[in-house]
A = this chain, B = another copy of it.
Amino acid sequence: MTGNKKAVILSSGGLDSSTAMAVAGEKGFGLYSLSFDYGQRHRIELEAAKNIADRMDVSRHLVVKVNMRDIGGSALTDDIDVPRKKSLMGEDPEIPATYVPARNTIFLSFALAWAEVLGSEDIFIGVNAVDYSGYPDCRPDYIKAFENMANLATKAGVEKKTKITVHAPLIHMTKADIIQLGVKLGVDYSLTHSCYDPTPVGISCGECDSCMLRKKGFREAGIQDPVVYIR
């Protein structure tokens, strides 16, 4: 057990990041969850992230405001239609319209800044290379390259007092594996939110990429999804 060690966990309020947080908790880290108000259309995820932070007994939950709308380029922040009932992973080589340019890089950069301030050497991110659905910044090579850069970027790294590790505990797991692990660790998936396009707010559409992946995962895990879907 790591006792007093702190971990910064990127939390989107979704299934994966909540499971990654439970993994960090299981390892004994003090939990510092970090979410972003980045002009996303599905703002309910911020509420979900807060509820999960409360339930998981985090030491601090921080929401950083960053304006990614000005940069543009994604269906998640722009007025572009979220794709429905199409590309599940592998079926469509195209990177989806819901990809936000450099999002994980931006999020990990803030996690790195906060880790440095907290004196933490451990960052958790719930990315997944199996179900990553075409997002380049969810692959192991990318995570490794970020970690390498991070250790050259910081005061603590340069002074060789710390060594930053970017943990991606779900990276090689299927969605079904993740759900089974989370249930074992006590994650309350009724609090998590996955839908890219919640209409009306709080209810999942059941048809966007993210809903399709989630529904498939619960089905394969043989577990009932507590979230309400329109379809």
User: Which residues of A approach B to under 8 Å, CB–CB?
Assistant: 62, 64-68, 70-73, 95, 99-106, 108-110, 112-114, 116-117, 136-137, 139, 141-142, 145-146, 148-150, 152-155, 157-159
Report A201 CB to chain B, min CB distance, Å. Answer: 25
Q: Decide if B64 touches A71 in the complex (CB within 8 Å).
A: yes
Given contacts A106-B106, A149-B145, contact A101 B155 (CB under 8 A): yes
Q: Quick check: B105 and A150 within 8 Å, CB to CB?
A: yes
Cβ contacts under 8 Å, A150 to chain B: 105
Task: For A101, list chain B residues within 8 Å (CB).
Answer: 112-114, 116-117, 154-155
- A66 neighbours in B (Cβ, 8 Å): 64-67
Q: How far is B142's CA from A145's CA once the two chains are assembled, in angstroms?
A: 11
Least Cβ distance of A38 to chain B in Å? 10
A137: B residues at CB distance < 8 A: 152-154
* B104 A153 Cβ-Cβ under 8 A: yes
Q: Are B102 and A112 in contact (CB under 8 A)?
A: yes
Q: Say yes or no: A113-B102 contact (C-beta < 8 A), given A149-B146, A152-B139, A155-B136.
A: yes
For residue A145, which residue of chain B has the nearest CB?
B149
Residues from chain B with a CB closer than 8 A to the CB of A99 are 155
Contacts of A149 on B, CB cut-off 8 Å? 105, 142, 145-146, 148-149
Contact check, A142 vs B148: say whether CB atoms are below 8 A apart: no
Alpha-carbon separation in the docked complex, A73 to B148 (Å): 22
Contact of A109 among B62, B106, B136, B148 (CB under 8 A): B106
